[in-house]
Amino acid sequence: MDDLLNPIRDAVEGLIDFKGQALAEDMSTFSLYTCTMVALVCGFVMDDIYITLWTGLGLTLAVMLLIVPPWPFYNKHPVRWLGSRTRLPSGGIVVGGKKVQ
């Protein structure tokens, strides 16, 4: 089963940085508010609740397809993490003239 799911997982899984997460959150919030207003106006003008629901559902799915994938612009500011202890110099860290473990 893992052999079938691994290619799908690799295609869908992606990394985004912290600024990309904030951008995705802002875009999704604004887009969903806009979709809600468009759906309500369409339903009010047509005087049909089904138009409101289907328009809202369609626009929400469109927003999901545009925002959820890990697009490259979500990873413009990658985080540089500190190295592990094994990468420290053999002398350790010296702070104020004293070695720190």
User: What single string gives the DSSP state of each residue in the chain?
Assistant: -HHHHHHHHHHH-----HHHHHHHHHHHHHHHHHHHHHHHHHHHHHT-HHHHHHHHHHHHHHHHHHHSS--GGGGSS---PPPPGGGS-TT-EEETTEEE-
Instruction: Give the count of domains, the chain.
Output: 1
In a domain, 49, yes or no: yes
pLDDT of residue 89: 59
Exposure letters 61-94 (e unless 16+ CB within 10 A, then b): eebeeebeeeeeebeeeeeeeeeeeeeeeeeeee
pLDDT of residue 13: 78
In a domain, 36, yes or no: yes
pLDDT tens string 7-66: 888 777 778 899 999 999 999 999 999 999 999 999 999 999 999 999 999 999 999 999
Q: Which residue range forms the structural domain that includes residue 10?
A: 2-75
pLDDT of residue 15: 83
